[in-house]
Amino acid sequence: MKFFTQFFKGFGYCFKSLSIIFDKGLWPFLFIPLIVCIVLIILSFYGIYSFSSYIADYLKPYLEVDAATITNPGLIDSIRIFLSAKAGFIINLIIKILLGLVSGTLVKYTLLMVLSPFLALLSEKADEKLHNTHFKFSVKQLLIDIARGVLMSLRNMFLEYFFIFIFMLVSVFIAPLSVVTIPLLFLISCYFVGFNFFDYNSERYKLRLKESSKLASQNRGYLVGIGCFYFLVMHIPTFVGTVLGIAFGPAMATVAAVLCFKEIELAQSNTNSVKV
């Protein structure tokens, strides 16, 4: 029950964050993700196209069948000859699909790593404007925030790849379980993405990575809600929808994480007061 309550709160705070971004003068942060993501997508598509063509050209000679050496070809031989003639195209297509799936996760976390200095600053500014706090600017602290953001993204990316690999194996060998593994993998992916936005607050309040991980696991509903919103808004159909998702998604999720963190902090302080 707690998970679903937190989930809907985290998801709802993402919508609430939009008015905060404009009311508090944080709207310039909307343009930075858009510029960065366009560059990453162009590089990603170029890399996929170039690499898949190289691999296809390399493997094609090993898969070709000399039709002249086959006399009285049967059905299997005819299929082999047909596939051999289309080997380059088929390999190219398969590799592009596989690399597309892998690069989707890669671009997602690369975007968060590149944006980490801007999102860390946005998280801090939102906290200051919402809660009348002030954090002294420090270049050293900013660099620490950037380094932690990059390390957190790398950690979460490799953990997500691990779960993708495990669930893919399970789905291949026990196909009916895919109805469970696919939704579960989606929730895990949302959790790790939400963790990235949540950790900007943990770093600002000097929580160690272990403490941040513990706090996140105790309140995973908020993180999954934020991650789910981020995933959905980044996959809005149509070109215009994609542009709006890229521009608004990271900023809205960052501000929503500030609201969730403060709510958790308030709940903990109330609990401690009751205990005393």
Mean pLDDT of 239-268: 85
On the question of pLDDT at 92 being above 90, the answer is: no
Residue 89 lies inside a defined structural domain of this protein = no
On the question of pLDDT at 197 being above 80, the answer is: yes
Q: How far apart are CA 27 and CA 18, in angstroms?
A: 9
How distant is the alpha carbon of residue 124 from its chain centre?
21
pTM of this prediction? 0.73
Residue 95 lies inside a defined structural domain of this protein = no
Which residue is it, tokens 């002294």? 136
User: To the nearest whole number, what is the mean pLDDT of the chain?
Assistant: 77
pLDDT of residue 273: 47
Residue 185 lies inside a defined structural domain of this protein = yes
Over the stretch 206-224, which tens digit does the pLDDT of each residue have? Answer: 888 889 889 999 999 999 9
Overall number of domains in the chain: 1
pLDDT higher at 79 or 232: 232
Residue 174 lies inside a defined structural domain of this protein = yes
Residue 195 lies inside a defined structural domain of this protein = yes
Residue 261 lies inside a defined structural domain of this protein = yes
Sign of the Cα pseudo-torsion (193, 194, 197, 203, in order): negative
Residue 200 lies inside a defined structural domain of this protein = yes
Three-state SS string across 90-153, please? HHHHHHHHHHHHHHHHHHHHHHHHHHHHHHHHHHHHHHHHHHCCCCCCCHHHHHHHHHHHHHHH
Look up residue 27 and give its amino acid. Answer: W
The overall longest dimension of the chain from CA atoms, in Å, is 90
Lowest mean pLDDT among 111-125, 127-141, 148-162, 235-249: 235-249
**Tokens of residue 214, six digits:** 């513990």
Mean pLDDT of 76-87: 54
Report whether 211 contacts 202 (CB < 8 A).
yes
How distant is the alpha carbon of residue 58 from its chain centre?
32
Containing domain of residue 160, as a range? Answer: 2-32+106-271
Residue 73 lies inside a defined structural domain of this protein = no
Q: How far apart are CA 253 and CA 275, in angstroms?
A: 33
